Chain A
Amino acid sequence: MIRFLLSRLAQGIVVILAVITITFALSQMVPGGAVRNERNVSEETRKAQEEYYGLNKPWIVRLGLTLKHYLTLDLPESYHYKGRGVDEIIASGFPVSATVGVAGLLIALGIGVPLGAIAALRPGTLEDRGSTLAATLGICTPSMVLGPLIALIFGLKLRWFNVAGWFDTSDWVLPSLTLGIIYSAYIARLMRGSLRETLALEFVRTARAKGASEFAVVFRHALKLASLPVLNFLGPAAAGLLTGSFIVETVFQLPGLGQFFIAAATNGDHQLTIAISTFYAALIVGFNLLVDILQAVLNPRIRLQS
């Protein structure tokens, strides 16, 4: 167990360093930098700024400096938001993305798990077909269509919520609803498939033979094992949700990490681009590890090995 965790931790660090390097390489190709995107900058100012941010050094030195920043957790300054560290900017954008993401995730689980479970428990019935149809439709409705439609109905027509921005305490509702509906469709589909497969397994038959009630069979025995594929899906999905869906944040104009990333990428704010990608990669690594541990807890046949 400890060995497993250590080896995964080492692998995670390799991933994060690789992500820093790749993002560094890609962002070097984006025209831009500390001052290059600003107009009317005198030659002296430009030189002074490049000197200050170390942009006049060869790329290999800059890559080394960047890696050193992250290894020593002494994060650099953003080029665009002068004087602010990239960690400060992430700290301002992450709560927005995370609030919307966590609420979206809860909505997704709240709709998806029951929908999929009901379909699996009554195969072939109207409930099964209805929920399968709903899930298929959900998968086929892209967030860039659903988001604006939800904004149109609940924001512009009914006027229950703001359409855009992050001002009121209720501003998380519409974006979370959009994310929740879309992810619930995937969860329902996975849940249905895996619960049906689990219910056909022998240990479920044994439980039934022992006289366990249907409730106990489903909730105490089958659901635990059946939730593994959902868990597998949720690991990377949760990382994506927490760091902000690019589409949903654009539709509802939320000042979350996704918006910061797109702005940084197009502005040539390399430091912020690298920082957000790295943060995202770290979250993915963390969630994947969490999923592995939870899997071992839920399924005694899975052993953690390096």
Chain B
Amino acid sequence: MTTADTASLSPSRAAWRRLMQHRLNASALAFLAALVLLCALGPVFSSYDQAQQNLELKASAPSRAHWLGTDALGRDLLVRILHGGRVSLEVGLLATAVAAIIGVCYGMISGLAGGRVDSALMRLVDILYAFPFINFVILLMVVVGREFWLIFVAIGAVEWLTMARVVRGQVLALKELEYVIAARACGAGFWHIAWRHLLPNVLGPVIIYASLTVPGVMLLEAALSFLGLGIQPPAASWGVLIREGANAMETYPWLLIFPGLFFSATLLALNLLGDGLRDAFDPKSMPQ
């Protein structure tokens, strides 16, 4: 895929090295790893449960017992943020996976088929770009009753358009390469070429674009939850917590500020990592 000029390193090794050269990228990756661990394990080790109410402690400020304070029902905010982080990250990853699967299949078929099929499929993508998808997602949420799996399927189903374009562009370039022509000459069929020869080489750009999709998807989930259409309380996602915090911000500002900080920091790390990956893998930005 990329031609590595760093003599003995494989292309992906070289790209990984370029990625880690920047301290910002490395710290973004470290932050995300720590966050994932914390969200996965933190609630297990905490002595509080995310739904456990303590009405004596209604909305207490951060203290030694509750590091980030408690909400209006006396629930520990830190535990709720970590639980919410699980949900937000899960939706982010799963919705991106849905978008990637649809986009890869669509783009691959379009690029490999070429000709009329290609131009028809791409015309459809152009047309779909003009659709008010946010309205559709809101309606879908109202229709099927805010189930967890539906949220990420619905978000993924509207976020695949750019992915399809990226994949199609790659496939158009790849299918003229000699090894694909050789495979075809050996009698390999459409699906064999797509699956065995093109997919592995398309994955790089797909991963890069997917890493840039995750923050957008997480924002959409948070927006839906903020509007009361996404994750339903008492389950928490960061959107739910921010909504609760925004309603109580005048008297208990920490309920807005802490979930907001976690969310923004995660978006920042994901964006930095996505940009870093793009720069590291993009042949245009390789050292001359």
Contact = CB atoms under 8 A, between A and B. Distances in A.
Interface stretch (A51-59, A120-128, A133-141, A170-178): A133-141
A281 B131 contact: yes
Contacts of B263: 142, 145
Interface in B265-280: 265, 267-268, 271-272
Contacts of A73: none
A250 B143 contact: no
B142 A265 contact: yes
Contact of B132 (A11, A139, A145, A277): A277
A144 B242 contact: yes
Given A145-B260, A152-B249, A284 B226 contact: no
B253 interface: yes
Name which of B131, B229, B268 has the most chain A CB atoms within 10 A of its CB: B131
A246 B265 CA distance: 23
Contacts of A156: 249-250
B55 interface: no
B131 A144 contact: no
Given A145-B264, A148-B249, A136 B272 contact: yes
Interface secondary structure of B, over-half rule: helix
A285 B130 contact: yes
A67 interface: no
Contacts of B129: 236
Contact of A142 (B130, B138, B222): B222
A30 interface: yes
A100 to B, nearest CB: 17
A19 interface: yes
A97 interface: no
Contact of A265 (B139, B242, B243, B260): B139
A236 B226 CA distance: 23
Contacts of A250: 226-227
Contacts of B272: 136
Contact of B242 (A145, A151, A262, A288): A145
Interface stretch (A21-29, A74-82, A217-225): A21-29
Interface in B29-79: none
Contacts of A277: 132, 135-136
A142 B127 CA distance: 28
Contacts of A11: 127
Contacts of A22: 131, 136
B206 to A, nearest CB: 22
A128 to B, nearest CB: 15
B219 interface: yes
A23 B139 contact: yes
Contact of A149 (B139, B223, B256): B256
A266 interface: yes
Interface of B: 127, 129-132, 134-136, 138-140, 142-144, 215, 219, 222-223, 226-227, 229, 239, 242-243, 245-246, 249-250, 253, 256, 260, 263-265, 267-268, 271-272
Interface of A: 11-12, 14-15, 18-19, 22-23, 26-27, 29-30, 136-137, 139-142, 144-145, 147-149, 151-152, 156, 236, 240, 246-247, 250-251, 261-262, 265-266, 273, 276-277, 280-281, 284-285, 288
17 contacts: A11-B127, A18-B131, A22-B131, A23-B135, A29-B143, A140-B265, A140-B268, A144-B223, A144-B242, A145-B260, A145-B263, A148-B242, A149-B249, A247-B226, A261-B135, A262-B138, A265-B138
Given A23-B139, A142-B264, A145-B263, 9 more contacts: A23-B136, A30-B143, A136-B268, A140-B264, A142-B263, A144-B223, A247-B226, A262-B229, A285-B130
Please give me the 8 A-B residue pairs with the lowest Cβ-Cβ distance, nearest first.
Answer: A145-B260, A148-B246, A140-B267, A140-B268, A280-B132, A26-B139, A29-B143, A144-B226
